[in-house]
Amino acid sequence: MIPYGRQNIEDDDIEAVVEVLRGDFITQGPTVERFEAALGDACGAHAVIVGNSATSMLHAAYLALDIGPGDLVWTTPITFVATANAAIMCGAEVGFVDVEPDTGCMSVDDLTERLAAADAVGRLPKLVVPVHFAGRVCDMAAIGALAQKYGFHVVEDAAHAIGADDDVGPVGACRHSDISVFSFHPVKIITTGEGGAASTQDPKLAARLKRLVSHGVTRDAALMQGESEGPWYYQQIELGFNYRMTDIQAALGLAQLKRMPAFIKRRRALAVRYQTLLGDLSLQCPVISDPDRSAWHLYVIRLSNDAPPRRQVFEALRARGIGVQVHYIPVHQQPFYQNLGFKIGDYPNAESFYAAAISLPMFPTLSDDDQMQVVDIVRDILTAG
Residues forming the site for ligand PLP (CB under 6 A): 53-55, 79-80, 82-83, 131, 157, 159-160, 183, 185, 196
Rank residues 74 and 80 by Cβ distance to ligand PLP and give the closer one: 80
Q: For the chain, how many helices (H) and strands (E)?
A: 12, 14
Q: CA 194 → CA 12, 36, 57, 197, 282, distances in Å?
A: 19, 16, 12, 11, 37
Q: How far is the CB of 56 from ligand PLP (least distance, A)?
A: 7
Q: CA-CA distance, 61 to 205, in Å (whole number)?
A: 8
Q: How far is the CB of 68 from ligand PLP (least distance, A)?
A: 21
Angle at 156 between CA 163 and CA 149, to 5 degrees: 130
DSSP state of 27: B
Q: How far is the CB of 322 from ligand PLP (least distance, A)?
A: 21
Q: How far is the CB of 187 from ligand PLP (least distance, A)?
A: 8
Rank residues 358 and 382 by Cβ distance to ligand PLP and give the closer one: 358
Q: How far is the CB of 79 from ligand PLP (least distance, A)?
A: 5
- From 264, 301, 269, select the one nearest 137 (Cα to Cα): 264
Rank residues 54 and 257 by Cβ distance to ligand PLP and give the closer one: 54
**Per-residue burial over 170-207, b = 16 or more CB atoms within 10 Å of its CB, e = otherwise:** bbbbbbbbbbbbbbbbbbbbbbbbbbbbbbbbbeebbb
Q: CA 2 → CA 43, 125, 267, 366, distances in Å?
A: 31, 42, 16, 8
Q: How far is the CB of 6 from ligand PLP (least distance, A)?
A: 14
What's the half-sphere exposure (Cβ side, CA atoms, 13 Å) at 85? 11
Rank residues 254 and 278 by Cβ distance to ligand PLP and give the closer one: 254
Rank residues 218 and 325 by Cβ distance to ligand PLP and give the closer one: 325
Q: CA-CA distance, 216 to 240, in Å (whole number)?
A: 4
Q: How far is the CB of 188 from ligand PLP (least distance, A)?
A: 6
Cα dihedral 297, 128, 107, 173 sign: negative
Rank residues 80 and 347 by Cβ distance to ligand PLP and give the closer one: 80
Helix then strand then coil, in percent of the chain rounded to 5, is: 40, 15, 45
Q: How far is the CB of 376 from ligand PLP (least distance, A)?
A: 29
Rank residues 325 and 349 by Cβ distance to ligand PLP and give the closer one: 325
Rank residues 195 and 240 by Cβ distance to ligand PLP and give the closer one: 195
Residue 312 has a CB neighbour count (10 Å cut-off) of 12
Q: CA-CA distance, 351 to 160, in Å (whole number)?
A: 20
Rank residues 75 and 349 by Cβ distance to ligand PLP and give the closer one: 75
Looking at this protein, which amino acid is placed at residue 41? D
Q: How far is the CB of 307 from ligand PLP (least distance, A)?
A: 26
Phi, psi at 36, each rounded to 5°: -60, -40
What's the half-sphere exposure (Cβ side, CA atoms, 13 Å) at 281? 24
Burial status of residue 88 (CB atoms within 10 A of its CB: 0-12, 13-18, 19 or more): middle
Largest CA distance in the chain: 77
Rank residues 159 and 281 by Cβ distance to ligand PLP and give the closer one: 159
Q: How far is the CB of 90 from ligand PLP (least distance, A)?
A: 15
